[in-house]
Amino acid sequence: MYNNYLNFLKKNETSNIQTFPFKNDNKYCGILEHVSMAYGEQYFQLILQEFSHIKQEKILTFCMINDKYGNPKKFFFNKDDFKILCSPTSLRYVYHSLLILKYLISKMS
């Protein structure tokens, strides 16, 4: 898989990062964009349950930043009055980032 990834990068090294749909390419999805919609739903629920103090606008902003590049596959996730269109991978990144932040804050106390 590593060689496939390197070949993919070399083949596309001259592409414009803002318009190149690398996150939507099957050769790339297996590397970083392989979180299913079902797992994305679980990450979404965990974020809302464990980090309810985080404003919904912030969660949306964090996902939009990650989804800005690469044209990833996006799905709707919603709970109650909060609806978001993003890639499941972005929800994974947000959730794990919040866990790391929570851990660091606990160590500083």
pLDDT of res. 25: 74
DSSP letter for each residue of 44-56: HHHHHHHTTTS-H
Structure tokens, 18: 């803002």
Per residue in 17-56, pLDDT (tens digit) is 667 777 887 777 777 788 999 999 999 999 999 999 999 9
pLDDT of res. 109: 80
Its pTM stands at 0.83
Close Cβ partners of 54 (under 8 Å, ≥ 6 residues apart):
47, 98
Dist CA 81 CA 25 (whole Å): 32
pLDDT of res. 100: 97
Residue 14: pLDDT band by 50, 70, 90 thresholds? Answer: low
> Is 94:43 a contact under the CB 8 Å cutoff?
yes
| CA max distance for the chain | 48
